[in-house]
């Protein structure tokens, strides 16, 4: 498994993944504006494609929630990161790819010694994702509305990350 920067040539792939039922359910059908976003490279964000044996299997976004331009997270303390993640094709679900992707993403986040924690905001009704994050050491912080979406906010502290097993 590896993470590589998403690029404009990934546009059709990401659009196809957005149409998948499991992706739409996890993202509340959000319009990511890929045509624009794949051409932008703000310093507060990484858009990444996860590949297994050179085949794209998922998407990861890592942001600095204190400095991102939409202020989606509101007032957030400095030195945190937020992650969005999904598997693209239904055939790639339940194969451990999500766990590997998340561990690689966390490694990227905590590579900076200043980062104190990582946030995720799954939809409140997405029980499978809550369990997924809790297995990785994330703890529930609050229930919160983001742009009309009812979400749970989970946080992984640096100390909890340090206790995770190595990426397989």
Q: Which residues of 64-101 are buried (b: 16+ CB within 10 A; e: fewer)?
A: bbbebeeeebeebeeebbbbbbbbbbeebbeeebbebb
All residues at 6 or more sequence positions from 82 whose CB lies less than 8 Å from its CB, including other chains: 62, 63, 64, 65, 73, 118, 119, 120, 121
Closest CA to 84 of 32, 13, 124: 32
Top CATH class of 2-119 equals alpha beta
Domain boundaries, the chain: 2-119
Q: What percent of the chain has pLDDT over 70?
A: 97
Cβ distance 97 to 87 under 8 Å? yes
- Alpha carbon distance 26, 165 (integer Å): 26
- pLDDT tens per residue, range 52-101: 999 999 999 999 999 999 899 988 999 999 999 999 999 999 999 999 99
The three-class DSSP label of residue 114 is coil
Q: Are strands 117-120 and 80-87 parallel, antiparallel or unpaired?
A: parallel
User: What pLDDT is attached to residue 154?
Assistant: 97
């Amino acid at each position: 498994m590896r993470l590589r920067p998403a690029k404009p040539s990934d546009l059709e792939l990401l659009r196809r993944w957005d149409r998948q039922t499991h992706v739409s359910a996890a993202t509340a059908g959000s319009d990511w504006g890929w045509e624009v976003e794949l051409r932008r490279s703000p310093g507060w964000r990484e858009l990444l494609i996860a590949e297994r044996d050179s085949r794209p299997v998922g998407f990861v976004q890592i942001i600095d929630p204190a400095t991102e331009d939409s202020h989606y997270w509101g007032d957030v303390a400095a030195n945190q990161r937020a992650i969005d993640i999904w598997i693209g094709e239904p055939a790639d679900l339940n194969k451990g790819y999500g766990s590997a992707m998340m561990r690689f993403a966390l490694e990227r986040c905590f590579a900076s010694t200043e980062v104190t924690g990582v946030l995720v905001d799954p939809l409140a009704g997405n029980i499978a994702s809550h369990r997924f994050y809790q297995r990785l050491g994330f703890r529930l912080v609050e229930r919160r509305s983001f742009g009309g979406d009812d979400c749970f906010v989970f946080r992984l502290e640096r100390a909890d990350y340090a206790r995770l097993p190595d990426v397989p």
